[in-house]
Amino acid sequence: MGGAFSLGRIFGIQFRIHYSWFIIFVLITFSLSWQYFPYAYPGWSAPVYWLTGIATSLLFFTSVVAHELAHSLVGRANGIPVRSITLFIFGGVAHMTREATRHGAEFRMALAGPLASLAIGGLFFLLYLMLQGISEPAAALAFWLAQINVVLALFNLIPGFPLDGGRIFRSLLWRFSGNYQRATRIAVEVGRGVGYLFVAGGIVLMFLYPGRWFNGLWLAFIGLFLSYVATASYRQAQWQAALQGIRVADVMATTCPAVSPDMTISRVVQDYIFISGHRCFLVAADGELKGILTLRNIKSVDRKNWDNTSVGDVMTHSERLKVAQPDEEVLSVLEQMEEYGISQMPVVSEGRITGLLDRDDVLRLLYTRSRLGI
């Protein structure tokens, strides 16, 4: 997911926050500090409302991370590598390098998150019982977190793909039909239906209860998001099926221009871009990869300085590059490209350049195969 930054690792899994997360964090904090706690617990001072609201919001998102971490750890135990967990405006998502290959693995992985949320909700409820009579703000914090974690678990169990309930539903369809693609198609259609119901419910809420227009708008927005993600998930499943077994070496371009780091930008533009329309160049010296030059690199230089600026001055150096191996699966490399927001990846074997994988080339392959019905 582009626009996210890393905060470190949890159990070896990269933890990332998307910039959109700050929007929902602020909204929840304001809602708790200005509305929920003042209404439910009058008499506190303003600093107590705000401190309790901030602490509650942070612990809520910690619970979301724990929910996704449960998915990730169970997935990893079932042989599904997990690259990262990202918090964003709609909660959290675990980035798996591939989908489950067995219905049982998907069932266990999908169920792990809601079970974790129910367990966390139970722990906060016990904490609430212990804190009653000791600290009202702390008890209020624990009670809200107990409720919201149960709600989170129940919401995720709705059988709308790609929610956890939708994945559980797909795993059961897969189990009894034996057909992964058919199970995915049915689960996605149900997921779209759930999304449309959320949109309809949000619209009804806005018109029947004008005072809750924001809740209705938010519900409709979630429904649109679920419908979009369900469609995107089905498209991804189709791509995965089409790319199954295809290696990087089968798709990479072996005729990608390699330029010297000493070549000027002006010469690259005149000798390669104007003539052949190439958009990306490997930078090499004596067959060894030194970096990569893209149109973005070139456009960062004022045109009047092209004659005295070398490729080596503006290229992305090899130390900062993500590289692929010829025997890697194309799908896995595409997922890495998506995560890091890049469109090309050099292919290197034993330290030497063997080609370049371009996302557009892979998409053209998928389009051609879909036109042929394969």
Confidence of residue 173 (pLDDT cuts 50, 70, 90): very high
Between 211-220, 236-245, 277-286, the lowest mean confidence (pLDDT) is in 236-245
3-state secondary structure of 158: coil
- CA gap 116, 75 in Å, rounded: 14
Question: In this structure, what DSSP letter does residue 329 have?
Answer: B
Instruction: pLDDT band for 359, please (50, 70, 90 cuts).
Output: confident
Contacts of 136 (CB under 8 A, 6+ apart): 41, 44
Average pLDDT of the chain, as a whole number = 83
Task: Please tell me whether the overall predicted TM-score, pTM, comes out greater than 0.85 for this model.
Answer: no
Give the Cα separation of 28 and 42 in Å (integer).
Answer: 19
Cβ atoms 297, 316 nearer than 8 A: yes
Chain segment 106-144, per-residue pLDDT in tens: 899 999 999 999 999 999 999 999 988 888 999 999 999
The answer to whether the Cα torsion of 36, 42, 46, 47 is positive or negative is: negative
Q: Is 68 annotated as catalytic?
A: yes
Q: Which two tokens stand for residue 45?
A: 């001072």
Q: Is residue 41 within 8 Å of 140, Cβ to Cβ?
A: yes
Antiparallel, parallel or unpaired: β 288-294 and 280-285: antiparallel
pLDDT-derived band at 6 (thresholds 50, 70, 90) equals: confident
CA 331 – CA 97 distance, rounded (Å): 8
pLDDT of residue 272: 82
345 pLDDT above the threshold of 90: no
Chain centroid to CA 185: 21
pLDDT above 60 for 325: yes
What mean pLDDT do residues 333-342 have? 73
Which range has the worst mean pLDDT, 17-21, 49-53, 190-194, 348-352?
348-352
Percentage of the chain modeled with pLDDT above 90: 20
User: What pLDDT score does 224 carry?
Assistant: 86
E strands, 168-299, where?
258-259, 280-285, 288-294
